[in-house]
Structures are given as structure tokens and as C-alpha cells.
Chain A
Amino acid sequence: MLAPNRHFMFYFSIKRTMDAERKIFTLSDLARSLRSVIERHYSGHYWVKAEIAKLNHYPRSGHCYPDLVEKTGDQVVAQMRATVWAGDYRIINQKFIEVTGEPLSEGMAILFQTSVTYHPVYGLSLQIHQIEPSFTLGQMAYEKQKTIERLKAEGIFDRNKTLEMPLLPRRLAVVSVETSKGYHDFLKILAGYSERFTVWHKLFPALLQGDKAVESLTAQLRLIRKKAHLFDMAAIIRGGGGDVGLNCYDHYTLSREIANFPIPVITGIGHATNETIAEMVAWQNKVTPTDVAYFVVSRFSEFENRTQVAQGILSARSMQILNTENQRLMRSAGYLRSFSTKILQKESLHAGVLANRLKSNTLWFLEKQNREIVHLQAKVNLLKPEEILKRGFSITMLNGKSLKSQSEVKPGDLIKTQLFEGTIESIVKPNHSENEG
């Protein structure tokens, strides 16, 4: 397909110059010759793969003049200019977006159908007629897979997910743009709960899609990183901007920044196609801005529910404890009453028994004593003088004193003799002391 060297130059129609020795051509001669060779020998349409180094799209004219390169590593081994005319560009780009979700942009590998043109003024150029989007899609998928593997190899792919989300995310760093519909949806939901929960947020404006998004998003994330201690989490919010130009979220630099972020990152970049790497490495991908907002408020309402449940349990449990203690106390008081009464009754019974015993024993004892006394009395009675007198004994007294010996009296003494009944008075006879009565 390519022109062999031996055709070089000598296929031109050569004009002879004034100088017979040397053949001198004008530039246009050479250009025309080149053009004719190229047109003759590269008349077909060729399928070529290359990388878009620069897109050079001019929106006013609609034409596009991409710089195409082939690289080995970082080394450019081939470079050519290409042209896509406005009409072709519209169709090609639209079809390209439909398949890949991305507009044609710099850094992409493309497979295109081209014809080679040469213009005397503008030089060699490849005119692009078609681009095969599935090739780029495959390349993008391949690149994406490589980026995923790289992040995994670096051990940071799941790093953001291992961070602990604060119980109540109250301070949010929001990466979005003021004009984004998604950002407004997000704010609207937070505002709906503002009476119940206070969520503070700061906006870090960034481009959210397209070529410059990686740089812009990464720069804002790095800004937040410097003040990470001021925030509980970061959210990347996008929505309403169409689903084109989201390739940036598969970019290594951005994905690495998110994976390595010091606080949890939640994504809500709102698209329906495959999950991007940024979303994969984020702490959680909530897809839509509204769901990010609901995630935040649900942390608060869940917490509120939990405290309410706890309050209910607290209330029921304290009442239960108080009831139990009350019953315990009542039971003790009841026991105390009945047991002490019982003891008293028992002791009183015991005392009664003792009293009875005391009583009967005493009576018996007294009776016994009484009998003894009666007996003694009888004994005593026998010894009474009257009893003796009764039996015929008498007492002789002198001057009121009983006489026990004859020697106690002299003749002429008046003595009295006491009998059981009555007394006898006598005078002791003289000198008859030998006579015994």
C-alpha cells in the first residue's frame, strides 16, 4: 500500500530549466509532483490507528484538525496532521459519543478510515472519513482495567473505604459547581431537614466533566485535603450536565487522589453507564446527588431514631426497676410485720406457759408450806403452857416469876399457883423446909 522508494521524484512531469546541467524545479513543481504521486499511489481509503495528540477543533467553522501521533513509550515515532470536515465531524463525534460516552478528545486512541491528501500549501494531511468508536471504547476499557490494577497494586484501591464515617457528618466539603442542577438538588434536600439537623457545607467549585476536569477536580480535592480536619466528609456532586465527558472519572490521578483521601469521599456524579474508577474507590458511590443528600440526612435521622428508641427503653426500664424495688420493699415490710408479730406471739405464748407454770408451782409450794406450818403449829401447840396446864401441870410463881427451885422461897412468902383454870394463892409454911410437897 505504501509507495516504494524507487518511485521517488521521477514520476513527476519535469520541466527543463535554463540550466542544462542541473534540473531546477519550482516549489510548486515539486508540490504538484508530490500531489500526483500521492493521489495516484494512495488513492484508496485506509484504516489506521493512532492517538489524538491535539484535537484542534474549531467550533466556529466546525472543522477539526487533529494532530495524530504514534508513541513507543513516551517517544513519538510518527506524527501527522489530519482533517475532519465539519459535516463529518458532527456525525463522527455524535456516533462516537453514543458508543463511548465521550466526545473525541486528546489522548484517545482511535481507529479511523482515512485518505491521504497533499496540498501544495497545507502539505500532507490525513482526511478522516470515519472513526470506529468501539476501538476507542476497547482502549478505554483496557486503560481503565490497567488503572484499576495499578491502584490495587499500590494497595490504595480500597483505602478510602476503610475510613470511618463520623456518626453525624455535619461538615461537608462539596466539590461541584454553583450552576449544577445536581448541586441544587443536593442543597434542596439538606435544606428540607435544616430545622431538625444542622449540616454545614462548603462548595469547592470544579469542572465536573471533560478534558480539564481531572486537573480541576484534583486541585480542589487537594485544597480540601489541606483542611481535611475541618470536614467530616467530602462529596463530589454532578448532575444535569449530560452523560458525556465522564472519562475523567476513570483517570488515574483523580482516582488516586480520591482513594488516598484523608476523609471519606462520597460520589454522586449521576450517570447510568458503567461505574467509574473514581466511584469505585470512593468511600461510597451514591450515584445521584439526591442520594448523597439522603445518605447524609439519614445518618441524622437514624441517630435520632436510635436515641428515641433508647429513650423508650430507658423510660420503660426505669419504671420497671422502680416497680421491682417497690415490690421488694413492700415484701420486706410485710415480712417484717408478720415475722416480728409471729415472734412476739410465740414469745408471749412462752411467757404465758411460764406464768402458768409459775402459778401452779407456787400454789403447790405454798400448799406444801402450809401443810408444814400446820404440822408445826400442831407441834407448837402441844408445847403451849395452857396445854400443859390442861394436862394437870401447874406453874408456881413468886412475885410474877416462875419458881424452878425450892431454894427460891422462904417461909412466909406468898406464892401463886397457876392452874389450867384459876390460880391458888398460898403462904409457905415455916421450917418445913425438909418436907417435900
Chain B
Amino acid sequence: MKDKTTYSEAIAELEAIVNEIENEDITVDELSAKVKRASFLIRICRQALHATEEEVKKILEELNQEKS
């Protein structure tokens, strides 16, 4: 696993895990680890989304200020 997971990598992995679980392509032994990994990915994605949103808003705000 890399140190810096990009958002798209993270969400792709998350969806893969969800798919596995959805298709019950998974054993109970793995379940806890998978759910743990998925939760970790969700957290990463949320953080990334939140950070991006904040940054985008800030940039757009700056643009608006420059305009006026």
C-alpha cells in the first residue's frame, strides 16, 4: 500500500471492497479486515473531499474578490 493514496485510488478500492462484500465474495475471516480497510478508505475519501471542497471554495472566493 502506498503512503499517499489518491482519492480516485481510494474510492476505486473502496468500491471494489463493497462489491466483494455485496457479492458475498468474502469469508468472515476477511470481513473484519476488509470492513476496517473500507472504513479507513471512507475516512480518507471524506477528508480528501472535504479538503478539496474547502480549497476550491477558497480559490473561487479569491477569484470573486479579484473581480470586484
A interface vs B, CB < 8 Å? 308, 311, 314-315, 318-319, 322, 325-326, 328-329, 332-333, 335-336, 339-340, 343-344, 346-347
How many of chain B's residues touch chain A, expressed as a range? 20 to 34
Q: What A residues does B31 contact at CB under 8 A?
A: 340, 343-344
Other A-B pairs beyond A311-B63, A336-B17, 6, CB < 8 Å: A314-B60, A318-B56, A329-B14, A336-B21, A340-B34, A343-B21
C-alpha spacing A315/B22, complex, angstroms: 36
Is B9 among interface residues, defined by CB-CB distance under 8 A?
no
Question: A332 touching B15 by the CB < 8 A rule?
Answer: yes
Q: Which residues of A contact B46 (CB under 8 A)?
A: 329
Docked-complex contact B60 and A315, CB < 8 angstroms = yes
User: Is the Cβ of A322 less than 8 Å from the Cβ of B14?
Assistant: no
Chain B residues in contact with chain A, CB under 8 A?
Answer: 7, 11, 14-15, 17-18, 21-22, 24, 26, 28, 31, 34-35, 38-39, 42, 45-46, 49, 52-53, 56, 60, 63, 67
Given A322-B49, A322-B53, is A329 in contact with B18 using a C-beta cutoff of 8 Å?
A: no
Q: In this complex, what residue of B is CB-closest to A316?
A: B60
Task: Give the 8 A-B CB pairs with smallest separation, nearest first.
Answer: A339-B21, A335-B18, A318-B56, A315-B60, A339-B22, A329-B45, A322-B53, A336-B38
Give the distance to chain B from A115, nearest Cβ to Cβ, in Å.
77
Q: Is the interface of B mostly helix, strand, loop or mixed?
A: helix
Shortest A321–chain B CB gap in Å is 9
Compute how far the CA of A329 lies from the CA of B21 in the bound complex, rounded to whole angstroms. 16
Which A residues lie within 8 Å of B24 (CB)?
A: 343, 346
Q: A328-B11, A329-B49, A340-B35 are in contact. Are A335 and B22 (CB under 8 A)?
A: yes
Q: Given contacts A332-B11, A335-B18, A347-B28, are A322 and B52 in contact (CB under 8 A)? A: yes
Contact in complex: B42, A322 (CB < 8 Å): no
Q: Within the assembled complex, what's the spacing in Å between the Cα atoms of A326 and B17?
A: 18
- Given A336-B18, A336-B21, also A325-B49 (CB < 8 A): yes
Chain B residues with CB below 8 A from A315, complex form: 60, 63
Say how far A10's CB is from chain B's closest CB, in angstroms: 98
Contact B42 A333 (CB under 8 A): yes
> Complex: how many Å from CA A336 to CA B60?
34
Contacts of B63 in A (CB 8 A): 311, 315
**Do B18 and A326 touch across chains, with their CB atoms under 8 A apart?**
no
| Sample of 13 A–B contacts (CB below 8 Å) | A315-B63, A318-B56, A318-B60, A319-B56, A325-B11, A328-B11, A332-B18, A332-B42, A336-B35, A340-B31, A340-B35, A343-B21, A343-B31
Q: In the bound complex, what is the Cα–Cα distance between A311 and B28 (angstroms)?
A: 50
Q: How far is the CB of B2 from chain A (nearest CB, A)?
A: 20
